[in-house]
């Protein structure tokens, strides 16, 4: 638990970072999703590549599944989207840093679940936000796993994405990241 709080504090500090606007940027944003109320608090990162790893899931014994998503980009984060396919994101649980008026937040229903959309405006003239943090809860009905899908765009239009991470019920036979033997 202590490690999780230190990690969360570090990410919050990252979310507070600003930098001077850059003229060009060809690097997409980096995304890291952490399962916070899961033993071991497994993390999933866009730095692992676009292919979905075999263990891209987490078993949650406690409902709802609580996640933190950090997004960073040296050239500035412009937009972040998170979707819960075949599940529901609890709108009351969503927290974004930085908050309003720098960020605008919406949680909308889609045909297959819910979607969080965060738009960011510059914190000041000639400045960009280099990090964003979102925390949210995913309610997973019994049945098929809920897929959490995250993407982000920087201020230059570069897109970054994270492979789908599944929220699984306790006791199913799929081996997930953070599971013990």
Angstrom distances, CA of residue 11 to CA of 4, 37, 38, 125, 127: 10, 17, 18, 24, 20
Q: Which 3 state secondary structure label does DSSP give 74? A: coil
The span from the CA of 126 to the CA of 131, in Å, is 16
**Residues 136, 67 contacting (CB under 8 angstroms):** yes
Which tokens hold the place of 41?
Answer: 């608090």
Give the tokens for residue 54.
Answer: 């075999």
- The pLDDT of residue 13: 46
Q: pLDDT value at position 124?
A: 84
Q: What confidence tens digit (pLDDT) does each residue in 106-145 have?
A: 999 877 788 999 999 888 888 888 999 999 999 877 777 8
The whole-number pLDDT of residue 22 equals 61
User: By the 8 A CB rule, do 89 and 116 touch?
Assistant: yes
Q: Is the pLDDT of residue 16 over 60?
A: no
Q: Judge residue 81's burial from the number of C-beta atoms within 10 Å of its C-beta, 0-12 exposed, 13-18 middle, 19 or more buried.
A: middle
Rounded distance between C-alpha atoms, residue 105 and residue 122, angstroms? 15
- Position 17 scores a pLDDT of 67
At residue 60, does pLDDT exceed 50? Answer: yes
The answer to whether the CB of 59 falls within 8 A of the CB of 179 is: yes
């Amino acid at each position: 638990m202590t490690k999780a709080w230190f990690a969360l504090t570090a990410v919050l500090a990252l979310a507070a970072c600003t930098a001077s606007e850059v003229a060009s940027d060809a690097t997409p944003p980096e995304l890291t999703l952490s399962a916070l109320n899961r033993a071991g608090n497994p993390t999933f990162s866009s730095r692992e590549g676009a292919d979905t790893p075999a263990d891209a899931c987490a078993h949650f014994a406690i409902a709802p599944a609580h996640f933190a998503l950090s997004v960073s980009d040296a050239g500035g984060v412009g937009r972040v989207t998170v979707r819960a396919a075949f599940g529901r994101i609890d709108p009351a649980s969503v927290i974004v840093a930085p908050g309003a008026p720098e960020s605008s937040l919406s949680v909308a229903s889609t045909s297959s679940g819910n979607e969080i959309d965060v738009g960011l405006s510059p914190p000041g003239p000639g400045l960009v936000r280099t990090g964003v943090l979102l925390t949210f809860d995913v309610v997973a009905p019994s049945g098929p796993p809920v897929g959490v899908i995250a993407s982000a765009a920087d201020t230059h239009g570069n897109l970054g994405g994270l492979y789908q991470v599944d929220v699984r019920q306790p006791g199913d036979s799929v081996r997930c990241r953070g599971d013990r033997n």
